[in-house]
Chain A
Amino acid sequence: MSIFGGKRVFGIDDPWIIAAYVLLFGSTAACVIYGIWKWNEEEEAD
């Protein structure tokens, strides 16, 4: 199985490890964007 075409990404070729790093950076970036987007939003009613 090769989700990255069998190529090394930053010297790693196991897709599970590459996917973990991609998700790590992606989720951190999503959190930063969320924080900026909701910076001044007041209380929401559920």
Chain B
Amino acid sequence: MVDAVVFWSCTVIYLGVTFVLAYMGYKKTKHGEDFLLAGRSVPSWIIGLSYGSTFISTSAIVGFGGVAAQLGLGIIWLTVLCIGVGVIIAFLFYGRRVRRLGQGMKAMTFPDFLGKRFKSPFLQYSTSFLILVSMPLYSSAVLIGGSRFLQTTLGIQYESALLSFAIITAIYVVFGGLLAVLYTDAFQGFVMLLGLSAIMILTWLLFGGVDASNIALANLVTDPGVPAGLSSKGMTGWTSFPSFGSEIWFTMVTTIIMGVGIGVLAQPQLTVRFMTAKSTKSLNRAVPVGAIFIGLSTAVAFTVGALSNVYFYDNLGKLSTQVAGNNVDLIIPMFINASMPDIIVVLFMLTLLAAAMSTLSSLFHTMGSAAGHDLWCYIGPSRLVPEKYRLCKEKEYKSTLKGNRVGTGIMIVVSVALAFVMPDSIIARATAMFMGLCAAAFLPMFTYGIFAKNPSAFAAKVSLVMGALSWFLWTVFVHIKESSVLGICKFFFNKDALLGSPYTVIDPLVIAMPISIIALIVAWALDPARKAAKAVQETA
């Protein structure tokens, strides 16, 4: 157990700094637009750190670190994709166009951007709806990840840990808006960099250096050997990639690496970061900060996760998954608690707190803006709502502080409730599901929208609907990891999945995204409005 004085001193300092920064954000938040976009003049280093710390959550550290302990270092490819796609393509190709278009259209949220770009209220509402339905899954996974570590480290009740997390984060998001989120994200990013760097160095020292660590990890293949349940599914060792085409290969490549690595491009909470930049110069300057942060944090989590096997096997004669009772989410916390000095355990706890809070605050803010700006601010003034309950005046489509704060508060409650009922070992899966849905439903039409000169709203609508629908059907009726838990397939067809192997382990993203792209192309070709415009042009 960690020394109470050390723990509380560090925690009070951490929370004190967080609340001071949040207060600074609160003081500068005067209008709905401040709440949503932080005045569109955020410094580059804050954008980079905030983008990174929002992207890297407890799910990435605890959940995927645990997956690395179970399946080995092949997951490092996810880090490569996070930098290649999540930073290079995201900032250099998507970011600068999103910033310029968003500023030109005065768009304030991701759904608002799509609605204005395609001149389609349907796209704004449906995107908001998808965010409100799917994002609580991710935010709950983040909450669970952080709470599990507090439970293990402090020996407190899981429920108390979860509620404390949610309430502290809720206070500064609801009152401080995006400025509070960005300021605290940047500070939390620093804490994460410090904590993870220390853990990586100490882990290598524990095993006698980089080479010795990896050789010891590689040697686990012969003694004790890969567990029979994993080797029969394609696992070849902890320092080698799974057998091509095997069940674990499909899970590793399609769900973990592609699902998360590609899904990052169309995540609403990250896209908004581009719209807060004052200029393209700010985005360029944010690139190195984001890359260093994302590369370091994920690589450390995955490498340390895999190496935890060496520690547990040397000391307890068991592999990490066996020590954690097959709950991969517990592996990283248990390794840190067992192997590191007290001060590092505290630093790691703050790192996880920081990771959870930075991601959570952004998710809360994005869900709140989808509810308070994109849905309420447009539906609220309509006749659907009794006059005395209307937050905005008729036809006054301005975002109100009150509307956004109420929306954020409601979505926080939903996330916390969901966290209480979600099953164990869900962290990495829920994260991959959310990112997979983002990629399937949003990415094709979002990409089309920012790169096409006169994008077709019809094509975007068809792509969104087909992407979301095919992702949902594959998740519910074919992808066994989800379909067996959801039980809908079982209810209708008396079996867990409608198709057999290997389809049951192919991620919904791999099926749904191509369908979404094909739907976009076909709908674009058939779009009556586009054809009519072309005919008019040719006549003229």
Contact = CB atoms under 8 A, between A and B. Distances in A.
A and B: real partners?
yes
A20 B77 contact: yes
A42 B241 contact: no
Contact of A46 (B77, B87, B97, B214): B97
Interface in B291-325: 291-292, 295, 299
A26 B286 CA distance: 18
B280 interface: yes
Contact of B295 (A16, A27, A38, A42): A27
B11 interface: no
Contact of A20 (B76, B97, B211): B76
Given A10-B214, A17-B74, A24-B79, A42 B288 contact: no
B281 interface: yes
Interface string B271-283: 0000000011100
Given A11-B213, A16-B240, A40 B281 contact: yes
Contact of B80 (A23, A30, A38, A44): A23
Contacts of B217: 11
B287 interface: yes
Lowest 10 CB-CB distances: which A-B pairs, in order? A11-B214, A31-B291, A35-B288, A14-B240, A38-B284, A16-B241, A20-B76, A11-B215, A11-B211, A32-B288
Contacts of B218: 11-13
Interface string A33-46: 01110111111101
Contacts of A11: 210-215, 217-218, 239
Given A24-B79, A24-B83, A17 B288 contact: no
B291 A27 contact: yes
B74 A16 contact: yes
Interface residues of A, number: 28
A24 B76 contact: yes
A28 B291 contact: yes
Interface in B62-80: 73-74, 76-77, 79-80
Interface in B170-218: 210-215, 217-218
B284 A34 contact: yes
12 contacts: A12-B218, A13-B218, A16-B240, A16-B241, A17-B240, A20-B73, A24-B79, A24-B80, A28-B292, A40-B281, A43-B279, A43-B280
B469 interface: no
Interface in B498-538: none
B336 to A, nearest CB: 22
B258 to A, nearest CB: 14
Interface of A: 8, 10-14, 16-17, 20-21, 23-24, 27-28, 30-32, 34-36, 38-44, 46
Contacts of B240: 13-14, 16-17
Given A41-B284, A43-B281, A27 B80 contact: yes
Contacts of B285: 35, 38-39
B391 interface: no
Contact of A17 (B212, B239, B281, B284): B239
Given A12-B218, A13-B218, A31 B288 contact: yes
A23 to B, nearest CB: 5
Interface of B: 73-74, 76-77, 79-80, 83-84, 87-88, 92, 96-97, 210-215, 217-218, 237, 239-241, 279-281, 284-292, 295, 299
A14 B241 contact: yes
Contacts of A46: 97
A16 B244 CA distance: 12
B14 to A, nearest CB: 27
Contact of A31 (B74, B88, B213, B237): B88
Given A12-B218, A14-B240, A46-B97, A27 B88 contact: yes
B69 to A, nearest CB: 15
Contacts of B77: 16, 20
Contacts of B74: 16-17, 20
A28 B239 CA distance: 22
B288 A34 contact: yes
A24 B97 CA distance: 26
A34 B286 CA distance: 10
Contact of A39 (B284, B289, B291): B284
A20 B240 CA distance: 11
Nearest to B44: A35
A41 B214 contact: no
Contact of B280 (A20, A23, A35, A44): A44
Contacts of A16: 74, 77, 240-241
B288 A12 contact: no
B34 to A, nearest CB: 24
Contacts of B96: 44
A41 B44 CA distance: 13
A28 B80 CA distance: 9
B284 A35 contact: yes
A5 B290 CA distance: 34
Contacts of A17: 73-74, 76, 239-241
Q: Which of B73, B212, B286 has the most CB of A within 10 A?
A: B73
B308 to A, nearest CB: 16
Q: Which of A24, A34, A42 has the most CB of B within 10 A?
A: A24
A46 to B, nearest CB: 7
B288 A36 contact: yes
